[in-house]
């Protein structure tokens, strides 16, 4: 049976600048093989210390027990600020807490039920677009579909809308131009030093924010006139902070829309692409998911989501093998002791879903594709200790519930109509850019069932 592709870990020791070159090209293949077995590893540079942590108790300490003592690292977020500004993804402390108090109500269970029709409509549009079949690069197709879902649920706009099209295309430019790390993130440089980001990334970020400003200001005008649709954007823009009574102002809302689009489009496209590839290389599972999907019927019915147990387990397994965000970086704010190592304030604490999800001391057959694991002992126990595709604790992604509705639904809608097969000689090689993608795309052959 086909084993899911995995990047080759770097051999042996390398120097700092060699590591930085590998890191900028692909964070995954820059790491040593031992991280799939280690509970903790230390990385030293002349400027700071980093500690990759896999031990479940320590991960829990950082993410769930004392999250405010380990804020997000500004070093890693620095390169994203031209697009994301001060969005909930990059802020810390009281600013972050205030943003979550306003955002979280929009993603409660009842609101997700209201978004189901928009997800269904986006899925139907994708089925129509893929109707001709043939060889398709699925990352592009899944990106278009995920962007459609975001625009429909956030602003009640289909991807065919002119502004939505422009945002999607600019985001593609930004994603390809934005490096995973930049010089300022690696060196102790003062705030006035430029970010040393590619000009294409800075231009694309500026144009994206201008486009987002257009739709945000139009929605504010619609709300003032009492003519706004009751979608996620309206919900967030009209929700007051329960402690201060304040609303998001225009600039704050632009920041939040930018991260909603990044998180809801880029990560969803990554997860859906890999899930389809895994089904293409495991046709027995693909047929089982297709048979299950017949229960969806021809009209959107939120209640039928409960019947998609196989699709949900396949999607969980795709998130395990190819977590869209492969690493998360926190910063120690005080002296700590982890596994008898002294950690000084300012040290970087790296939590790696990529390594935790494939850890040899936690998972049975860690590199294998086995959706049935989610119904047995190991698959039921490991998620508590070593499964964090959406982070965990206070900073868990507010859209986690949204993603776990969207992913299994779209997967079922596509596999119900089409058969997906791998293209010979085009096995994807996973690399990390903004998310875990394939170096040369994920190419699948599509035929009607």
Closest residue by Cα to residue 233 from 156, 313, 332: 156
pLDDT for the residue 186: 52
Give CA–CA dist 29/115, Å, rounded: 38
Q: What is the pLDDT along the chain (449 residues), one digit of tens a residue?
A: 578 988 777 666 666 566 666 666 677 877 888 999 999 999 877 677 889 999 999 999 999 999 999 999 876 666 677 888 889 888 999 999 999 999 999 888 767 888 999 999 999 999 999 988 899 999 999 999 999 999 999 999 898 878 888 888 887 777 776 655 554 455 554 554 455 667 787 888 888 899 889 999 999 999 999 999 999 999 999 999 999 999 999 999 999 998 888 778 888 999 999 999 999 999 999 999 999 999 998 888 999 999 999 999 999 999 999 999 998 989 999 999 999 999 999 999 999 999 999 999 999 999 999 999 999 877 777 777 789 999 999 999 988 999 999 999 999 999 999 999 999 999 999 988 778 889 899 999 999 98
Show contacts of 198-207: CB within 8 Å, 24+ apart: 200/173, 201/82, 201/174, 201/177, 202/82, 204/170, 204/171, 204/173, 204/174, 204/177, 205/82, 205/83, 205/174, 206/82, 207/170
Q: Identify the residue whose tokens are 């704010």.
A: 333
| Neighbouring C-beta atoms of residue 358, cutoff 10 Å | 21
pTM above 0.85, yes or no: yes
Give CA–CA dist 112/398, Å, rounded: 12
SS3 content of the chain, % helix, strand, coil (to 5): 55, 10, 35
Buried b (16+ CB within 10 A) or exposed e, 291-318: ebbeebeeebebebbebbebbbbbbbbb
User: In Å, how far from its chain's centre is CA 118?
Assistant: 20
pLDDT for the residue 198: 73
Q: Taking a C-beta distance cutoff of 8 angstroms, is the pair 150, 215 a contact?
A: no
Helix (H, G, I), strand (E, B) or coil at 72: strand
Could you tell me the two tokens for 307?
């019947």
How many residues are there in the chain? 449
- H or E stretch including 43? strand 40-44
Give CA–CA dist 301/31, Å, rounded: 45
Partner residues linked to 328 by β-bridges: 351
- H or E stretch including 318? helix 309-321
16-448: CATH architecture: Orthogonal Bundle (1.10)
Closest residue by Cα to residue 183 from 16, 345, 350, 24: 24
State how far the alpha carbon of 28 is from the alpha carbons of 13, 140, 155, 187, in Å: 15, 22, 35, 21
Could you tell me the two tokens for 108?
């409660």
Closest residue by Cα to residue 139 from 44, 284, 19, 275: 275
Partner residues linked to 163 by β-bridges: none
Buried b (16+ CB within 10 A) or exposed e, 51-68: bbbbbbebbebbbeeebe
Residue spans per domain, the chain: 16-448
Could you tell me the two tokens for 159?
């991807």
pLDDT for the residue 163: 81
Could you tell me the two tokens for 2?
């086909």
Give CA–CA dist 281/437, Å, rounded: 17
Closest residue by Cα to residue 262 from 12, 84, 5: 84
The three-state DSSP-derived secondary structure of 90-139 is CCCHHHHHHHHHHHHHHHCHHHHHHHHHHHHHHHHHHHHHCCCCEEEEHH
């Amino acid at each position: 049976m086909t084993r899911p592709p995995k990047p080759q870990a770097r051999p042996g020791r390398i120097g700092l600048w060699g590591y930085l070159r590998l890191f900028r090209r692909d964070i995954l293949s820059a790491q040593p093989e031992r991280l799939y077995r280690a509970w903790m590893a230390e990385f030293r540079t002349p400027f700071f210390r980093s500690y990759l942590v896999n031990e479940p108790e320590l991960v829990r300490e950082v993410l769930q027990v004392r999250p405010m003592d380990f804020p997000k690292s500004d070093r890693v977020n620095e390169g994203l600020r031209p697009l994301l500004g001060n969005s909930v993804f990059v802020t810390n402390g009281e600013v972050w807490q205030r943003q979550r108090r306003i955002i979280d109500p929009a993603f409660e269970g009842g609101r997700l039920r209201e978004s189901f029709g928009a997800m269904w409509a986006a899925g139907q549009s994708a089925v129509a677009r893929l109707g001709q079949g043939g060889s398709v690069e699925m990352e592009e197709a899944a990106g278009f579909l995920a962007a459609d879902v975001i625009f429909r649920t956030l602003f009640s706009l289909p991807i065919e809308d002119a502004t939505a099209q422009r945002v999607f295309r600019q985001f593609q430019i930004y994603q390809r131009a934005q490096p995973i790390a930049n010089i300022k993130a690696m060196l102790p440089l003062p705030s006035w030093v430029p970010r040393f980001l590619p000009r294409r990334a800075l231009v694309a970020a500026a144009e994206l924010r201008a486009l987002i400003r257009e739709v945000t200001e139009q929605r504010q005008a619609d709300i003032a006139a009492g003519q706004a649709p009751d979608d996620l954007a309206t919900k967030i823009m009209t929700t007051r902070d329960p402690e201060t009574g304040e609303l998001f102002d225009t600039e704050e809302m632009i920041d939040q829309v930018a991260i909603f689009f990044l998180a809801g489009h880029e990560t969803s496209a990554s997860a859906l692409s890999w899930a389809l590839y895994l089904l293409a290389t495991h046709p027995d599972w693909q047929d089982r998911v297709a048979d299950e999907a017949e229960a969806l019927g021809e009209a959107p019915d939120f209640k039928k989501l409960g019947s998609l147990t196989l699709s949900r387990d396949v999607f969980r397994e795709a998130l395990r093998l190819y977590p869209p965000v492969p690493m998360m970086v926190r910063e120690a704010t005080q002296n700590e002791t982890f596994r008898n190592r002294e950690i000084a304030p300012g040290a970087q604490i790296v939590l790696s879903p990529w390594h935790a999800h494939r850890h040899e001391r936690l998972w049975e057959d860690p590199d294998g594709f086995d959706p049935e694991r989610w119904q047995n002992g190991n698959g039921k126990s490991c998620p508590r200790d070593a499964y964090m595709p959406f982070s965990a604790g206070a900073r868990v992604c507010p859209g986690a519930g949204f993603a776990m509705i969207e992913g299994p639904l779209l997967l079922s809608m596509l596999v119900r109509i089409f058969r997906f097969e791998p293209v010979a000689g085009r096995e994807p090689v996973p690399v990390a850019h903004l998310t875990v993608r394939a170096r040369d795309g994920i190419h699948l052959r599509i035929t009607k069932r």
